[in-house]
Amino acid sequence: MKRASTRPAQGYNFAYLDEQTKRIIRRTLLKALSIPGHQVPFGGREMPLAYGWGTGGIQVTASIIGPEDTLKVIDQGADDTTNAVSIRRFFEIVTGVATTERAEEANIIQTRHRIPETPLQEGQIIVYQVPQPEPLRKIEPRETETRKMHSYAEYGAMQVALYEDIARFGYIAKTYDYPTLVNARHLMSPSPIPKFDNPKMESSPAIQLFGAGREKRIYAVPPYTSVRSLDFDDHPFEVQKWEQCCALCGSTTSYLDEVITDDNGGHMFVCSDTDFCNTRQREQAQAGEADDSAPPTALAATEIPS
């Protein structure tokens, strides 16, 4: 865990947004939690970060964060990707809160494209950055139409889209941003996480909040709520599997990123969740010291310079 070295930025309110705006967003969050999966419009503010780069997630985090909180920010599962570093620095500057890379130490986790491998706990809040909150947008570009489809729970078009995949390929060829039905009522985009992560949303003990800045929508899944990935009785929902294990920590249960290692097509697979991978490597190293017969770990992960 790291205490921010700088004091909160001069001339700006704690967590950037003014208190009035935070109150509006918190009220929206309460409404969103009361109607799981329903997209609630909110007066999204213009942020000093570009739309599509996490403005919705930042506004949600800014509205709920307090001086005693510990924040973790990840992008693609990693704490050291540029945008995660940039957003973490933003909150260090405007709030001065403690930050961490350990999923279990954080009570607020802001994420883009992944859910940590470490299971979330009660009392934790995960904030998803969402580019397009409308799961039906690719089927129906008009907001006026999709709003009606949600009102009538008219989700046949999505089932047909999935069925078309089965008719064509024999399986559902949707790999990320895989549609879910929340609390058996609202069709919801899980944000562009790989479908590998969808099962982690089901009955999660954590509060799940979703912010879409450009589209000015907030939605939420309260703890222990059903989040079912759409499927068919004869084509049940499936997640990605790999033949390989992580080249660094040997995990066979985590989501793997493919990394190109040379210019001859050489590649290897490593955990996308850096905290999970580093923790496993540390544990293996400790176990290795205790027992010299254990094989050495492949390579140490690159640490970010501090």
Classified as helix, coil or strand, 91 is helix
- Contacts with another protein in 105-124 (CB under 8 A)? 112-114
What is the secondary structure of 155-187 as a DSSP string?
Answer: -HHHHHHHHHHHHHHSS----BS--EEETTTEE
CA 60 to chain centre: 13
Least distance between another protein and beta carbon 21 (Å): 9
Q: What is the per-residue binding string for another protein in 192-231, x denoting contact by CB under 8 A?
A: xxxxx-----------------x-xx--------------
Question: By CB under 8 A, which span of 43-51, 200-208, 228-236, 279-287 interacts with another protein?
Answer: 43-51
Hey, what are 237's tokens? 């929902």
Interface residue with another protein among 43, 236, 265, 296 (CB under 8 A) is: 43
Site for another protein contains 235 (CB under 8 A): no
Whichever of 174 and 223 has its CB closer to another protein, that residue is 174
C-beta separation of 162 from 182 below 8 A: no
Count the residues of the shown chain that bind another protein, applying the rule CB under 8 A.
67
Q: How many residues does the chain have?
A: 306
Q: H-helix or E-strand containing 259?
A: strand 256-260
Q: How far apart are CA 118 and CA 275, in angstroms?
A: 9
245 catalytic? Reply is no
Burial class (CB in 10 A: 0-12, 13-18, 19+), 132: middle
Least distance between another protein and beta carbon 89 (Å): 7
Sign of the CA dihedral running 225, 231, 235, 238: negative
Site for another protein contains 180 (CB under 8 A): no
Whichever of 113 and 225 has its CB closer to another protein, that residue is 113
Q: What is the per-residue binding string for another protein in 237-276, x denoting contact by CB under 8 A?
A: ---x------x-------xxxxx-xxx----x---x----
SS3 content of the chain, % helix, strand, coil (to 5): 30, 20, 50
Q: Looking at 44, 56, 213, 277, which residue is catalytic? A: 277
Least distance between another protein and beta carbon 143 (Å): 6
Q: What backbone torsions phi and psi does residue 181 show, to the nearest 5 degrees?
A: -110, 120
Chain positions contacting another protein, by CB under 8 A: 12-13, 16, 18, 41-48, 50-53, 55, 75-78, 80-83, 85-86, 89, 112-114, 131, 142-144, 169-170, 173, 175-177, 192-196, 214, 216-217, 240, 247, 255-259, 261-263, 268, 272, 299, 301-302, 304-306
Q: Catalytic positions, please?
A: 37, 246, 249, 271, 277
